[in-house]
Chain A
Amino acid sequence: MYDLPAPTLEPTRSSAIHRAVLLNGALPGDETLNPIEQSLLTVLLERRIHVRDFQLRNIPLAFCQGCFECWTRSPGLCKTDGDAGREIAAAMIASDLTVCLTRVTFGGYSSEIKKALDRMIGLVSPFFRRIEGEVHHRTRYRSYPSLAVVGITSEPDLEEERIFRTLVARNARNMDSPAHAASVLPVNLPPSATRGRLEDDLQPVLRSLARRVA
């Protein structure tokens, strides 16, 4: 049985008005994402966003077997139980914002992030709809969280950055996210600069949350 709850971080200023799920996709042994995660948490908590923080490398999570039973046998539920998959799915659908923190990996996400996201297909329906000329899956729930993905690079790579931003936009379209944002940051950026960049880059999702309150 999965019994390693992800810590919940509460804003200190006043009661939380939004919920976010943070998926930290650092690979085992890579500690370079820790300071960036701290800056990210600061940005979210200051905006009274209650954060559920999943350190993916430290929690039991099986990979998607491609069986589609989450669509046809136990609709909405992955058949794999006893790991963190269902807990992450439940937390994501109950949240206003999903934030992924990852190394930019050949222009995509790290394997830890992919392991979690691949398990989330039960959050949509197997049936089809057409969006901007492409076939996608219909939604299962009435609403979905916005999506923000923070990608960390060791060296600038414009091709990777372009692919990464396209991937975030496509994920947001498939998951019916009301808003999305991608931030690509160098790993050695000082914390104060990291925070400033995050505040700028995540504006589309932060503004969207603010509008929901208004």
Chain B
Amino acid sequence: MNGRRAVLLIGSARPRGTSTSEVLGGHVLRRLADNGIRTRAFHVSRCQRPDKERSLLQAVDEADVLVIATPLYVDSLPYLLTRCLERIAEHRRGPTPRAEVRLLALVNCGFPEWEQTRTALDICRVFARKAGFSWTGGLGLGGGEAIAGRPLAELGRRARHVTRALDLAAEALIAGRPAPPEAQALLSRPMVPPLLYTAIGTIRWLRTAHRHGALRRLKDRPFASR
């Protein structure tokens, strides 16, 4: 035990154990724990009550490392995480000098291109600057539905490069240096070829709608006059 602490903020509103964000952030957290760092994970959706929020803020206060793992919502961070970051920044405002806390952001999106996460990663970087964290780096992952809450080990060869990228990011956090460009280069490789990924995505939407008895209503325009 080296006395260091790490906190993971999971930005997905999906139930525990079902989100890609939890899988990615959880992997980094396990690597940190393997190196003697004490770890805690918070689902921001469960931290809205004042007592839970206080607990989260205190954990961040005591942390040496902060990891944000989140899905992309409407080109940026989801509401729950945005609210959480607003609260953290407000809480840390003031003249009190603080020890260095390193921040790593992991943003995944359902579109095949990881580049679509750039704006959200930029927002995380500005948050780090404004709230007094040291920016270790941001990693974007496209095609996140190829993971869909399943452990990376279960995905075999398809996700080996994702595991390696997260390991590199965890090593950077432990060593206190920026995440290497190689980590993003690895994550840029699709787990599933983009055309196949969108075809599978389409079939999934159709199957789920069929299961819900909504297949014939998929093109409904409930608010149309247009």
Contact = CB atoms under 8 A, between A and B. Distances in A.
Contact of A94 (B126, B217, B225): B225
Interface in B212-226: 212, 214, 217-226
B52 to A, nearest CB: 15
A46 B19 CA distance: 47
Contacts, number: 152
B226 A115 contact: no
B214 A134 contact: no
B77 interface: yes
20 contacts: A66-B19, A66-B73, A68-B208, A72-B214, A89-B223, A90-B223, A106-B89, A108-B123, A109-B82, A111-B83, A114-B82, A120-B74, A126-B218, A127-B205, A135-B111, A135-B198, A143-B226, A163-B123, A167-B119, A170-B116
Interface residues of B, number: 51
A126 B214 CA distance: 13
B136 interface: no
B62 to A, nearest CB: 23
A-B complex: 8 closest residue pairs judged by Cβ atoms = A111-B83, A114-B79, A73-B212, A115-B79, A106-B126, A72-B208, A90-B223, A106-B127
Interface of A: 27, 63-69, 71-77, 89-90, 93-94, 105-111, 114-115, 117-118, 120-121, 123, 125-128, 134-136, 140-143, 157, 159-160, 163, 166-167, 170-171, 174
B86 A163 contact: no
B115 to A, nearest CB: 8
A151 B47 CA distance: 27
A105 B131 CA distance: 12
A111 B223 contact: no
Contacts of A27: 86
Secondary structure type dominating chain A contacts: mixed
B122 to A, nearest CB: 5
Given A27-B86, A64-B13, A107-B123, A114 B222 contact: no
B78 A114 contact: yes
B26 interface: no
